[in-house]
Amino acid sequence: MPVGTDRSGIYDVVVIGGGIVGTATAMALLQGGRLKVAVLEAESELAFHQTGHNSGVIHSGIYYKPGSLKAKNCVVGRELLYRFLEENGIPHERCGKLIVAKDEEELGRLHALVERGRANGIEGIARVGRDEIGRIEPAVCSPGGVFVPVTGIVNYTEVTRAYGRVIKSLGGTIHLNTTVNGVTSAKDGLQKVVTPRGDFLARLAINCAGLQSDRVAKMFGVVTDLRIVPFKGEYYDVVPGRSHLVRNLVYPVPDPAFPFLGVHFTRSIEGRVHAGPNAIPAARRDAYRPFAFSGQDFSDMVFFPGFIRMGMRNFGMGVGEMWRSMFKPAFVRDLRRMIPEIRGRDLVPGVPGVRAQAMDRQGNLVDDFAILEMPGSIHVLNAPSPAATASISIGRTIANRAFERLGVGIRQDWVIQEGGNP
């Protein structure tokens, strides 16, 4: 019997990718459909890439367009995640997040932010003034802000490992060090996923490969104008003697012209305080080390028409991000707009992350989750933040699509209705 097959030689579903979305999807497939499921992960452990380099924030859903997959899955997924954490004894904290304005212009954006959050069904959002900000985060200097009490913190590597334990307990299999090299069609409409450890036969394959999702999709013959453009996010850690300056989570008011949230302060569940990230194009899709470079990754990015068009439209902003990357005082200056007491000597280099961001040929960053269905396969082509927060909900959404494809009854209680309620 070939490696990668069960006793019948065929899986119902093979999930490609052992990050938090892939494992959540496999877990949902097993919980809801009692299917034969295998997870294939190229690395030696689960959560090796984006999930394992995550800041650990359990997001509220305040930023996302009402009705979007991000908004609906984040709001529902957040509470599902909290329930999972409680049931499985995983350390976490519902600590709340403070979003602060630096000037009067940003104060004017707070109303729209609150209204969007309420439209998404987020509980307890409140405008706060200077005095209340001082009580929540004494070191923060701001004329006003928004407090979001449902935001929390957790270690997503531990969450993913817990998903893995559930998968195994329900009869699923996880294959580490198993790189997907190709896909071919087999008899009876089966998908044959080719790896150095043997071929995996499945009625359906689900691509949750994150940073490699566009390349895996291409193996299936998927033609799309989307390309994964990796953005590196660099962090500093606040030295222990100064970490008291940040009690929980402090964010700036989002700039509508900038697709990322800007540098902010986050406390980890282990007690460390991270400051960042910036957002710069990465010369390698797993650019966790300084000066990491891949000729293939770099050329795939810089010769992609969408990247060129985005660069031309956002040249000044891109230069600013690169300058902040190379020049620590510029990074510190932005942080001091929220906490003036922070100095360069308070910060030491932290562990960076890389965001798998889908981009189209026009240079537009895909804002929402992107899930594409093809004959014999389902592809998650864009799942940036808040995918970790929303993972259980996303997994159930994908699983329901798989159930329908496989002739298994969908779980109606997993269907997310308008307004963000299952």
Q: pLDDT tens for residues 284-342?
A: 999 999 999 999 999 999 999 999 999 999 888 888 899 999 999 999 999 999 999 99
The 10s digit of each residue's pLDDT in 78-131 is 999 999 999 999 999 999 999 999 998 899 999 999 999 999 999 999 999 999
Nearest to 142 by CA among 351, 378, 346, 337: 337
Predicted pLDDT at 59: 98
Nearest to 105 by CA among 313, 222, 257, 234: 257
Residue stretches of the chain with pLDDT short of 50: 1-7, 418-422
Q: CA torsion sign, 169 to 171 to 174 to 175?
A: positive
Predicted pLDDT at 7: 47
**Angle separating helix axes 20-33 and 391-406, nearest 10 degrees:** 50
- Residue ranges and CATH numbers for the domains of the chain are 1-93+152-226+366-422 (3.50.50.60), 97-149 (no CATH), 227-365 (3.30.9)
Predicted pLDDT at 6: 46
Predicted pLDDT at 147: 98
